[in-house]
Structure 1
Amino acid sequence: MDPRPSRNTAAGGFAIATGVLGGTILGAVGFHQPTIGFLVGAAAGVAIALAVWLIDRR
Structure 2
Amino acid sequence: MVNDTSDSSRPPARAGGVFMALGTLGGTIIGGFLGQPSIGFLAGLGGGFALHGALWYMDRRKR
Instruction: Pick the structure with more helix per residue.
Output: 1
Task: Supply the distance in 1 between the matched residues of 2:21 and 2:12 (Cα, whole angstroms).
Answer: 21
Task: Supply the distance in 2 between the matched residues of 1:45 and 1:34 (Cα, whole angstroms).
Answer: 16
Paired residue secondary structure (1:5): coil
Detail structure 1 runs of 4+ shifted over 4 Å in the superposition.
1-4
Q: Structure 1 regions of 5+ residues with no counterpart?
A: none
TM-score when scaled to structure 1?
0.88
Q: Structure 2 regions of 5+ residues with no counterpart?
A: none
Task: Supply the distance in 2 between the matched residues of 1:12 and 1:2 (Cα, whole angstroms).
Answer: 22
Is 2:37 the partner of 1:34? yes
Q: What is the aligned residue count?
A: 57
TM-score when scaled to structure 2?
0.82
Superposed CA RMSD: 1.6
Displacement after TM superposition at 1:11 (Å): 1.3
Structure with larger Rg: 2
Q: Percent identity?
A: 44
